[in-house]
Chain A
Amino acid sequence: MRRGRRPKWMINVAEERVNILFNRAQEELNLNRDRSNRYVQMALDISKKYNLKIDTTWNRRYCKNCHKFLQPGVNCQVRLKNSRVEIKCQECGKIRRIPYTREKKVKRRRKIEFHTIKKGHNE
């Protein structure tokens, strides 16, 4: 065990708990908003203690500024602007920008390759 690194079984339990807490936060969103935000806070506390990354399913579902649970169409706004995903938290007004230029480049390159190979075959 390196310094700061936890053993594997601890990380497994912690990942399961984070997953459970986010599921509960989703269930409680419309019933009790405070409780839902509290579960997000608890999940983040666990992830900090055991050096976990939040899974991609839940990564964009909380505000990095005010730590509240976000539901698109209820308390957050999702837009595509200038090759970026913009997620605006309606609670605190913070905008999170996630670029997707790399995906665009890969797509363009694949398109060019496809056409050049096809021409070669025909000749």
Chain B
Amino acid sequence: MIGQGEEEDVKPDILLMITPQNIFRHEFVGLHVEVVASSHEGYKGLKGRVVDETKNTIKFEDVQGNEKIIPKKVAVFEFTLPNGVKVEVNGKVIAMRPENRIKKRYKKTW
């Protein structure tokens, strides 16, 4: 019982917090990401766990442990949410500083 209580504090929160509607404004660090399309052929198909984010790039770590840095504006990303839902996001929409993404007003694209 005690073990269950401790888990309830942390895990279900993270499952519920990020939804396909607010993924634009929410945190990418820790999510699984895959590059679906890109103007540069070499980026296509790369995937891994997001470890860092800046205004113009996204950095993730693949299975071998290599860090890959990819510019946001040229690619389309597919994020896997903690509850298993997959969401495609165009890189042009999220090309701004991580703390500024919360306050931006987006046109509805979903």
Whole-angstrom distance between the Cβ of A26 and the nearest chain B Cβ: 10
Q: Contact check: which of B13, B27, B102 meets A10 at CB < 8 Å? A: B102
> How many A-B pairs fall under 8 Å by CB?
45
Total interface residues in chain B, CB < 8 Å: 18
Q: Are A24 and B30 in contact (CB under 8 A)?
A: yes
Residues of B contacting A50 in the complex (Cβ-Cβ under 8 angstroms)? 102
Give complex CA distance A22, B51 in Å. 13
Q: Are A45 and B99 in contact (CB under 8 A)?
A: yes
Residues of B contacting A17 in the complex (Cβ-Cβ under 8 angstroms)? 26-27, 102
Residues of A contacting B26 in the complex (Cβ-Cβ under 8 angstroms)? 13, 16-17
Give complex CA distance A15, B29 in Å. 15
Question: A27's closest neighbor in chain B, by CB?
Answer: B30
Q: Which residues of B contact A (CB under 8 A)?
A: 10, 13-14, 17, 22, 25-27, 29-30, 51-53, 98-100, 102-103
In the A-B complex, list the 7 residue pairs whose CB atoms are closest, starting with the nearest.
Answer: A17-B27, A45-B99, A46-B99, A16-B17, A20-B27, A49-B99, A13-B25
